[in-house]
């Protein structure tokens, strides 16, 4: 059965998502200071082909054209992130008016087209100056983040109603500090647990502080978690146990800290295993819990976890012993991820069991495929369209099961800088030619427009 936008509630939010470090470029313009991703990308060997995000999709200079593309798609919301080091080049202290002005112009352009701005405060780009002071491992990072959140609310509070603190804290903590695949490239599992804890404290305290800054009765606050099922690759007890360990690190750690201010007991075991318990103040977390207005969730795939005696610790999920990440069934996207929409229905239903009264917004969903333009410059990306359609059907299924899903955002509007993979993993509904920076709507973008117009 073909799905239409009319199969969803009339007030359903339809959007696309991006992030500052992946599209803005202009890394040293108008007072912006370097972020940890600028440093990381310029460190030899960290990014495929030695690429960097200095120009990215040049959105900083082309945002008006990009807002026009959004209007052409017919979306009613746009999720983007603020570059902390553009707003506060020293990390704390004085606001860079040119930086604030950029985001004010962006929000005004969106509102003029009837598109609601949805802000992410932190999409992995800590100002380098703060990293030099210890970064997320320093307990003061919690206070730095609160100061930044308040500055953002003061600068944009009249234009923005929907605020999220962190995008995918698991990536900041575990890809940044355990596997080291992401900036700042640290490889110490214990540090990843400490960073997670500081992110969770910073989330709660920032929401509390923003609620009373420039307050508006329609303000909504949340966080965006990448909730990726970790399923046992075999039905054995051993496989189930290691999969539960990965699930605890990837999903339950953050969901439980956000919703209840507590960590699952297996996470406390892992903290003890890496000898960081004395750096984690559990009571402080429990005492500072601030309720959220909805839960933001990203979904791409399922992780299949097998039991493999003697396997080294999984770099992104250091905790369970003898665990192995298995190949998913079926075809893989360019990220080597499987395509399993059933996992999305499963996770949405699980989240609504965890927090029955909390609306859910799917803040990212999409796929990288090796798009090539034909002789006329047209990209026929049928696989991306199929991926999105299948996942929309999975959302619809979860809603039929009772999940309170209120919105869906495609990742991504534009092809962009896909972190350590550089530019060859393309997620956009719109193709970006990274030589000319020209934008071209792909078939999937045209399909999304038609779907929304239906």
Residues that bind ligand IFM (CB under 6 A): 19, 22, 168, 298, 364, 411, 418
8 vs 411 by CB, closer to ligand IFM:
411
39 vs 322 by CB, closer to ligand IFM:
39
32 vs 426 by CB, closer to ligand IFM:
426
371 vs 418 by CB, closer to ligand IFM:
418
- The DSSP bridge partners found for residue 196 are none
Please report how close the Cβ of residue 284 comes to ligand IFM at its closest, in angstroms.
28
Nearest to 280 by CA among 168, 179, 208, 196: 196
Residue with tokens 């427009």: 449
Residue 168 known to be catalytic: yes
Which is the catalytic residue, given 24, 51, 168, 340? 168
Q: How far apart are CA 429 and CA 62, in angstroms?
A: 17
Q: How far apart are CA 11 and CA 303, in angstroms?
A: 33
155 vs 344 by CB, closer to ligand IFM:
344
H/E run at residue 98: helix 97-112
Q: How many helices (H) and strands (E) does the chain have?
A: 17, 13
Residue 349 CB: number of other CB atoms within 10 A? 16
Q: How far apart are CA 367 and CA 400, in angstroms?
A: 25
Please report how close the Cβ of residue 168 comes to ligand IFM at its closest, in angstroms.
6
Please report how close the Cβ of residue 368 comes to ligand IFM at its closest, in angstroms.
7
Please report how close the Cβ of residue 290 comes to ligand IFM at its closest, in angstroms.
24
Coil, strand or helix at 104: helix
- Residue 274 burial class via C-beta count within 10 angstroms: exposed 0-12, middle 13-18, buried 19 and up: middle
- The DSSP bridge partners found for residue 325 are 305
| Under 8 Å between Cβ of 99 and 46 | no
Tokens of 329: 């069934």
Please report how close the Cβ of residue 125 comes to ligand IFM at its closest, in angstroms.
10
Residue 340 known to be catalytic: no
| Catalytic site positions | 168, 364
């Amino acid at each position: 059965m073909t799905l239409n936008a009319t199969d969803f509630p009339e007030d359903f939010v339809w959007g696309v998502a991006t992030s500052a470090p992946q599209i803005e470029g202009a890394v040293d313009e108008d007072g912006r200071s370097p972020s940890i991703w600028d440093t990381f990308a310029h460190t030899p060997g960290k990014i495929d082909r030695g690429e960097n995000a200095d120009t990215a999709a040049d959105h900083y200079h082309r945002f008006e054209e990009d807002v026009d593309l959004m209007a052409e798609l017919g979306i009613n919301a746009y999720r983007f992130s603020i570059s902390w080091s553009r707003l506060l080049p020293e990390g704390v202290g004085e606001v860079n008016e040119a930086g604030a002005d950029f985001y004010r112009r962006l929000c005004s352009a969106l509102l003029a087209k009837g598109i609601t701005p949805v802000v992410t405060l932190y999409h992995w780009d800590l100002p380098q100056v703060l990293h030099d002071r210890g970064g997320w491992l320093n307990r003061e990072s919690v206070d730095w983040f609160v100061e930044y959140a308040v500055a953002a609310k003061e600068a944009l509070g009249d234009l923005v109603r929907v605020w999220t603190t962190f995008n995918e804290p698991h990536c900041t903590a575990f890809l940044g500090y355990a596997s080291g695949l992401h900036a700042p490239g640290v490889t110490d599992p214990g540090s990843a647990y400490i960073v997670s804890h500081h992110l969770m404290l910073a989330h709660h305290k920032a929401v509390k502080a923003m609620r009373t800054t420039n307050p508006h009765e329609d303000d909504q606050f949340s966080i965006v978690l990448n909730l990726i099922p970790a399923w046992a690759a075999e039905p054995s007890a051993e496989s189930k146990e290691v999969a539960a360990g990965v699930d605890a690190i990837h999903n339950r750690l953050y969901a439980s800290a956000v919703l209840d201010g507590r960590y699952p007991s297996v996470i406390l075991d892992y903290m003890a295993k890496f000898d960081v318990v004395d750096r984690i103040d559990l009571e402080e977390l429990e005492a500072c819990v601030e309720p959220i207005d909805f839960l933001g969730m990203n979904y791409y795939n399922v992780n299949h976890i097998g039991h493999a005696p003697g396997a080294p610790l999984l770099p992104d999920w250091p905790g369970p012993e003898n665990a192995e990440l298995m190949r998913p069934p079926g075809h893989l996207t360019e990220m080597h991820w499987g395509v399993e929409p059933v996992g999305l229905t499963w996770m949405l239903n699980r989240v609504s069991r965890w927090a029955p009264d909390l609306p859910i917004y799917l803040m990212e969903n999409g796929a990288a495929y090796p798009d090539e333009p034909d002789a006329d410059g047209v990209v026929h990306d049928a696989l991306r369209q199929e991926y999105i359609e299948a996942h929309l059907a999975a959302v619809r299924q979860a809603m039929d099961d009772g999940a309170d899903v209120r919105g869906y955002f495609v990742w991504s509007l534009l092809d962009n800088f896909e972190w350590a993979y550089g530019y060859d993993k393309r997620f956009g509904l719109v193709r970006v030619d990274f030589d000319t920076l020209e934008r071209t709507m792909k078939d999937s973008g045209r399909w999304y427009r038609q779907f929304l117009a239906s």
